[in-house]
Amino acid sequence: MSKILSIALNPAIDISSDADEVRHTHKTRTHNQRQHAGGGGINVARIIVELGGHCELLYLSGGATGELLETMLRPLGIRQHVMKIHDPVRVAYNVHELSTNLEYRFVPEGPLVSEAELAPVFDLLETTDADYVVASGSLPRGVPMDTYLRMAEITQRKGQRFVLDTSGDALRETLASCHVFLVKPSLGELEGLVGRKLDHESVGPAAQEVIHRGAAQYIAVTLGADGAVLVSSDSITRVPAIKVTVQSAVGAGDSFVAGMTWSLSKGRDIVDAFRLGMAAGAAAVMTSGTELCRQKDILSLYDASKG
């Protein structure tokens, strides 16, 4: 099996609770509190391990919340590369309103990180022998927008496969100047890359425009309830969403990336890996709060989707 390194520059402690009703000004009484180690790259590593794979995890950690995050991750059997920073790890909060079945998600911007604190990340990338390097999630404050670009350049030079899942300027800057193996934008993020509104029929050709610029080998565009599209330079594969009962949308995109990368690391072809990613994303929305997905649900949905 190929080796995987997952990177989380802006990890979080994710707390989720239920409330009967959320009202402004008044106290909102919550119950059924859960907490998990979170943030894009950490979620990816958690799901790969849940699937039975092995994944190394590189993340930034600071303050008392960083110590708590490290404690939460120790039992998961993930080899950790902890890069210490001064500022504390952020705490994100998700409230599920039972009366409406709506979710309210509060996501802080994250710590302020200096260039000196970021330098050890690049040092490790120069020495890692991972076959797949996954960079998932937002950038913390103070980190240059070309950070993922610099990572992609290192992995490209070393012949590794770089998988990217981010948004905004960090996504645009990376794809404007470097070639990645796989990128997973949403519909809105793809619209930002091509500079125009898209419908579901134009998604595939628009993604091929990005590929023909030399930005990526594969693009997997997630469309929520309308499924996803896998695009290469010469093919467009559309797969409908897997119908499940939705509990929470938290971590669905991370689950998709993790399932796809894990499948590729086992030597499966790109379309099969794409379908496994779809199953992982669907399995994630079946669980409440920040629990993410369960192996049995992923494999069951994947098997059913092939029928």
Task: Give every strand in the sheet of 90-97, ordered side by side.
Answer: 30-38, 12-19, 90-97, 102-106
Answer whether 165's CB lies under 8 Å from 34's CB: no
Is 254 a catalytic site residue? yes
Between the alpha carbon of residue 100 and those of residues 20, 206, 276, the distances in Å are: 9, 36, 31
Task: Please work out, in degrees rounded to the nearest 5, the angle formed at the alpha carbon of residue 213 by the alpha carbons of 212 and 214.
Answer: 85
Rounded CA separation 100/84 (Å): 41
Structure tokens at 11: 């990890």
Strand 132-136: give its sheet, edge to edge: 79-84, 56-61, 4-8, 132-136, 161-165, 180-183, 216-222, 228-231, 236-239
* CA separation, residue 182 to residues 63, 234, 252, 294 (Å): 33, 15, 17, 24
Amino acid occupying residue 58: L
Structure tokens at 4: 């995987």
**DSSP letter at 200?**
T
From the list 254, 269, 272, 303, the catalytic residue is 254
Name the residues annotated as catalytic.
Answer: 254
